[in-house]
Chain A
Amino acid sequence: MEPLVHVTGRGVPLDRPNVDTDQIIPAAWLKKTTRTGYADGLFEQWRQDPDFVLNRPERAGATVLVSGPNFGCGSSREHAPWALHEWGFRAVIAPGFADIFRNNMPNAGLVPVLCEPAVVAAVMAAVTADAAAEIRIDVAGLTVTCEAAGVRAAPFRLDDEARDRLVSGLTQLEMTLRSADRIAAYEAVRAPWLDVTA
């Protein structure tokens, strides 16, 4: 995985609550067996509207999506963060994320930037008004800055394990394989009634 220490770029405002993973990548795209090839499916239904924000030429090349509460609700499909990543996004700023989606994001090279609603509202207003407004996300320091919004080093919440993984570029699996002895030790003492194969 490519380490993500900083994300600096322009924002795309998607000011809606409950953006679900069926919108992010419709189910018809889930028949592939690869981790790539999903960018064309990103928000496929909404992009049929020529005025949809992702169709605006001034939003091309933006790397930070800004959205509403409960972002990524619904299906556990990792294809959703894969599609966002492949489109060019590296972070999503929102006042709330659905649990499974939030877990999937770092595994797909995306930073979940869970901020106070007032911070998200300020950044949303700034990037809506100015497509060139810059957002800087310090992943190691867990802060977000958007001068145009008057937001300077506002903190965001991310657990240490996910942060360390994003910054190091190590996958979760690579980290866990170091604990193989602990897993074997657990298996040796696990209660028999927990063994569904018994």
Chain B
Amino acid sequence: MTPKTLVDKIWDLHVVEPGASDLLYIDLHLLHEVSSPQAFAGLREAGRTVRRPSHSVATTDHDVPTDGRELPADASAAQQLRVLADNCRDNDIELHQVGSPGQGIVHVIGPQMGLTRPGTTIVCGDSHTATHGAFGAIAFGIGTSEIEHVLATQTLRARRPLSMAVTVTGELGPGVTAKDLALGILAAGGTDAGTGTVIEFRGPAVRALSMEGRMTLCNMAVEMGARSGLVAPDETTFAYLEGRPRAPRGDLWDEAVAAWRTLRSDADAVFDRELVVDAGAVVQRVTWGTNPGQSVPVDGVVPDPAGIAHPGERAAAERALAYMDLRPGTAMRDIGVDVVFIGSCTNSRIEDLRAAAEVLRGRRVADGVRGLVVPGSMLVRQLAEQEGLDRVFTAAGFEWRMPGCSMCVGINGDTVGPGQRCASTSNRNFEGRQGPGARTHLVSPATAAATAVAGRFVTPADL
């Protein structure tokens, strides 16, 4: 038998009809308010129905207020939330909306419910669906026409992806997180190293990551240009899933675990692309530019575009520095921030909040800095409150908010002002991402917390 990659094994399990684009069965379809209204409208207009309502689960996250109000002040956002509720009611789809204990960011609730499982195919109208790959699933973002296609047929037409292995050898140093690793891989490989592929993250440093860390890493695979990222399931995965509300139970659990244990790339499987990263060389990082590949160590300085050989990349770096209002050679440690945002589908899980709280315990944010903590879900919020983390955050001067995408995408009114600088645990530092004229620097939760205290970019060890 030809040796196969994990991605090919999972893919082959789901091919309904082979072709130039395979017709692929979708095990789990996640929905939110922003990318789905036109898909439901398309079904309605054509007189079509949802083929498998039980395979879709919806939540509200992008538009929702995080200040405790149930409905956004913005009328069109409120309308969009109502449309999702109507569509779910009319099509018999499970919905976790604001006010319900299951509500949260779509990529946080799937795993916490035990719906995100090894070997499955998962799609959602959101690029960060890659997050679910942490469980050994093929999970990727789709557009609205494809959402309509999945609703109507429970399948998707998709080209078989190329394969890429990112092997992380050695072990991460103290205080170096999955987020720093993701930024380090992006700095080494660039923002299109993974185009056309699903990245399999492997190696001892990946095995050593918690499920939360693996989710952070797979979440950022899309920033590497990949359709998705995944990690082969192992005991860490099974331990996370066991006992979750929707995880299989009894005989079905045993049967599932037996199947999950077979989910790994064959030893001699050949990958289309490979990248090897030494975990020991990864340090805490911060972005300086307007794409996630543009980062340096927190110890580092703003790079000089003159040193970039490729003219297009050099011009892009010059534009990025102009937008970010930074000068080459400036130490990152000398750059002050106005806002610190801890949240998003990248870094809003309980471990992320614990890491930030540990840094903030007994400390205060610097004068003039606004700090927000936006937990990824109601469950994360509740867990954090049981552990007293909310009191650590509020005592440090942070705002303790309700769950949602919030300042990562800035649709719900949580934005960074024009010209303001934000240390953010989110995934994209694009121009205007956090609001028109906003300047975003991507960091880990621990670095974000330390930066809030110092008022400029530092690591916890610097405090």
Select the stretch in B203-211, B354-362, B430-438, B446-454 that faces chain A: B430-438
Q: How far is the CA of A9 from the CA of B8 in the complex (A)?
A: 41
Cβ contact within 8 Å between A22 and B142: no
A128 within 8 A of partner (CB): no
Q: Which residues of B contact A23 (CB under 8 A)?
A: 430-432
Which 6 residue pairs of A and B lie closest in terms of their CB atoms, listed nearest first? Answer: A107-B145, A78-B143, A104-B143, A76-B141, A33-B37, A160-B20
In which size bucket is the chain A interface?
Answer: 35 or more
Cβ contact within 8 Å between B225 and A98: yes
For this complex, 29 residue pairs linking A to B, each with C-beta atoms less than 8 Å apart, are A16-B316, A22-B428, A23-B431, A31-B34, A31-B63, A35-B41, A35-B144, A45-B436, A69-B192, A73-B291, A76-B125, A78-B125, A98-B195, A100-B142, A108-B143, A108-B145, A161-B20, A175-B157, A176-B152, A176-B155, A177-B152, A179-B16, A182-B16, A183-B154, A190-B25, A193-B252, A193-B256, A196-B120, A198-B252
Cβ contact within 8 Å between B80 and A100: no
A171 within 8 A of partner (CB): yes
Cβ contact within 8 Å between A70 and B225: yes
Residue of B nearest to A81 (CB): B143
B183 within 8 A of partner (CB): no
Given A33-B83, A179-B155, 16 other A-B contacts at CB below 8 A? A26-B432, A27-B411, A30-B62, A31-B79, A33-B41, A34-B38, A75-B126, A159-B21, A171-B145, A172-B145, A173-B148, A177-B152, A186-B25, A187-B154, A193-B259, A198-B252
Cβ contact within 8 Å between B17 and A27: no
From residue 32 to 72 of chain B, which have CB atoms closer than 8 A to chain A? Answer: 34-35, 37-38, 41, 51, 54-55, 62-63
In which size bucket is the chain B interface?
Answer: 35 or more
Q: Which residues of B contact A16 (CB under 8 A)?
A: 312, 315-316, 319
B74 within 8 A of partner (CB): yes
Cβ contact within 8 Å between B23 and A191: no
From residue 111 to 129 of chain A, which have CB atoms closer than 8 A to chain B? Answer: none
Contact flags (1/0) for B140-181 with A, using CB distance below 8 Å?
111111101100111101110000000000000000000000
Residue of A nearest to B159 (CB): A159
Cβ contact within 8 Å between B195 and A76: no
Cβ contact within 8 Å between A73 and B192: yes
A17 within 8 A of partner (CB): yes
Q: How far is the CA of A159 from the CA of B119 in the complex (A)?
A: 26
Q: Which residues of A contact B141 (CB under 8 A)?
A: 76, 100
Among A31, A96, A173, point to the contact of B74 (Cβ < 8 A).
A31
Minimum CB–CB distance from B151 to chain A (whole Å) comes to 9
Among A76, A171, A176, A180, point to the contact of B127 (Cβ < 8 A).
A76
